[in-house]
Amino acid sequence: MSASIEFNQLHKRYGAHPVLRDFDLKVQAGETVTLIGPSGSGKSTVLRILMTLEPFQEGCLTLDGISYHQPHGKPPFFASDVHLHKVRAKVGMVFQSFNLFPHMTVLRNLVEAPTAVLGLSRDEAEGRAVELLHMVGLSDKAKAYPGQLSGGQQQRVAIARALAMRPQVLLFDEPTSALDPELVGEVLSVIRSLAHEHDLTMLMVTHEMRFAREISDRVCFFEGGRIVEQGKPDQIFNAPEQERTKRFLSSVLNG
Amino acid sequence: MDLSVHLPNLLGAAATSLLICSLSLLMAASLSFGAGVALFAGPAWLRAIAFAYVEIFRGTSLLVQLFWLYFALPLLGISLPPFLTGVLALGLNTGAYGAEVVRGALRSVSQQQHEAARALNFTRNQTLWRIVLPQSLVEMLPSFSSLAVQNLKDTSLVSMITIADLTFKAQEIRNLTQDTVAVYGTALLIYFAMAMSIVALMRILETRVARSTGRLS
């Protein structure tokens, strides 16, 4: 199960400062889309709005046909918590700084939300958690606390934790930016296997260009709160049409 | 003058002090969490009540609060026994300080934890009770330890409303024996020993909580 996403003429401001302007983006169910571009261009904000961590001021956003506005509610306000609860049930997010719950063991991090939010039995949730830990290669860390793990291990647990909620859309907000270079690979390989094995819609903000090129169905180049150019990875990386895309790519690929 | 004759008396009175301290701390703990959580996450009307409670009791003298409950309340038709009055005044007072500790510790949990909880679709209440409060517990305990010791020392004020606590008894025995140095010296030592026991107990609790929340391994 996966879901489609549609941003329609969305405006997002912090105070008077516009972050997203007339923003349009459609993501098909099951698609893997990567957002690249200079920092401060609004890429992460797109994910944060999708996760309901940020409100927006104008425009429409729907996920699997469900609006982020209250049905019949008055725009530009974000819908009520009760309504957004339904939206969030379909979306999961992996954060740059992992954000595991430090007071819980790894297993408990994976079991807490499925039992409390989805109402699974403890046995069922633990069974699923064990499977997921196996998938991310951390079966032996179930009883450890997050503070005892490396950054790469923590991020893999965070991915498993997000998957434990069976999201249809999974958002990755610079999942490897906080990691030491030698730990990036283990996290990317988990994400890579997700892109292949799971019928998930994935949206990722990353600075790992080679990785973006490898796993994406589509790459969107962002600048100044807009998508400047988008297309198949080969087209964006080999034959970008826009001058700004060329400049950005040459600076990150050669710099 | 041989003080050992009076030592059992002093120790008995110390037990009264400790009882008042313990009961008022129980009350203070409930008030701290109630008012602290209300200040952090309550609806506006509840926050206002908690705010008024905390500021009134932090902003006025404990001794006057004690006198008010003991001497003024009966004039309004409510008369409480001295022991209960003492526990009530101390509990309310320490609870007000404790509420600020709880609120501060809840606030110290990072915004990222709130975001992670929202991404997992926890409700606000679940986020508070399952994610934020358990993490903030470790932050609260050192301050609670000082407040508990402060509370113990403040129990000496209840001697002013005729309760035979350690201070009250020490005064009585001093008047009888005129041995000021030894009697008050002994009283000080007993207070000190009780305070150290509280500190030690709180240290054990701190270690326990730290261990069960992954802060120590």
Concatenated DSSP letters for A50-78? Answer: HTTSS--SEEEEEETTEESSPTTPPTTSP
B64 to chain A nearest CA, in Å? 42
Collapsing DSSP to helix, strand or coil, A94 comes out as strand
Residue A75 predicted with pLDDT over 80: no
pLDDT in the model for residue B215: 72
Residue A116 has its nearest CB partner, among B119, B130, B215, at B130
DSSP per-residue string spanning A12-39: EEETTEEEEEEEEEEE-TT-EEEEE-ST
With an 8 Å Cβ cutoff, are B214 and A104 in contact?
A: yes
Q: What is the CA radius of gyration of chain B?
A: 21
Q: Quick one: CA dihedral A12, A13, A19, A21, positive or negative?
A: positive
pLDDT in the model for residue A253: 81
pLDDT in the model for residue B108: 95
Instruction: Please list, in sequence order, all residues whose beta carbon lies within 8 angstroms of the beta carbon of residue B32, skipping any fewer than 6 positions away.
Output: B94, B95, B97, B98, B99, B101, B102, B144
Convert A66-89 to b/e letters by CB count within 10 Å (16 or more is b). Answer: bbbbeeeeeeeebbeeebbeebbb
With an 8 Å Cβ cutoff, are B217 and A145 in contact?
A: yes
Which of the pair, B112 or A40, is modelled with greater confidence? B112
pLDDT in tens for each of the 217 residues of chain B? 567 788 898 999 999 999 999 999 999 999 999 999 999 999 999 999 999 999 999 999 999 999 999 999 999 999 999 999 999 999 999 999 999 999 999 999 999 999 999 999 999 999 999 999 999 999 999 999 999 999 999 999 999 998 999 999 999 999 999 889 999 999 999 999 999 999 999 999 999 988 888 776 5
Q: Which of B137, B151, B160, B150 is nearest to B215 (CA)?
A: B137
Confidence of residue A123 (pLDDT cuts 50, 70, 90): very high
CATH class of the domain defined by B3-212: mainly alpha
Q: Closest residue of A to B138, CA-based?
A: A103
Which residues of chain A have a CB within 8 Å of the CB of B215?
Answer: 102-103, 147
- What's the DSSP call for residue B60? S
| Distance (Å) of CA A175 to CA A86, A99, A216 | 25, 11, 15
Residue B8 is encoded by which pair of tokens?
């059992």
pLDDT tens per residue across span A161-189? 999 999 999 999 999 999 999 999 999 99
Range(s) of chain A covered by CATH 3.40.50.300: 5-90+169-254
CA distance B69 to B155: 15
Residue A73 predicted with pLDDT over 60: no
Instruction: Report domain extents, chain B.
Output: 3-212
- Tell me the mean pLDDT in the region A226-251: 92
Collapsing DSSP to helix, strand or coil, A221 comes out as strand
Which residues of chain B have a CB within 8 Å of the CB of A88?
Answer: 118-119, 121
With an 8 Å Cβ cutoff, are A148 and B217 in contact?
A: yes
Residue A80 is encoded by which pair of tokens?
């009520």
- What's the DSSP call for residue A7? E
Collapsing DSSP to helix, strand or coil, B199 comes out as helix
CA distance A72 to A87: 16
Residue with tokens 């932050």: B139
CB pairs A-B closer than 8 Å = 70
Residue A89 predicted with pLDDT over 90: yes
pLDDT in the model for residue B29: 97
Which residues of chain A have a CB within 8 Å of the CB of B130?
Answer: 112, 116
* % of chain A residues with pLDDT over 70: 94
Residue A151 is encoded by which pair of tokens?
């950054």
Q: Which of A190, A62, A93 is nearest to B114 (CA)?
A: A93
Which residues of chain A have a CB within 8 Å of the CB of B127?
Answer: none
Phi, psi of A30 (to 5 degrees): 85, -5
CA distance A43 to A24: 13
Does domain A5-90+169-254 correspond to CATH entry 3.40.50.300?
Answer: yes
Which residues of chain B have a CB within 8 Å of the CB of A52?
Answer: 118
Query: Mean pLDDT of all residues in chain A?
Result: 90
Phi, psi of A148 (to 5 degrees): -95, 0
With an 8 Å Cβ cutoff, are B135 and A113 in contact?
A: no
pLDDT tens per residue across span A205-223? 999 999 999 999 999 999 9
With an 8 Å Cβ cutoff, are B119 and A81 in contact?
A: no
Q: Which of A103, A108, A97 is nearest to A148 (CA)?
A: A103
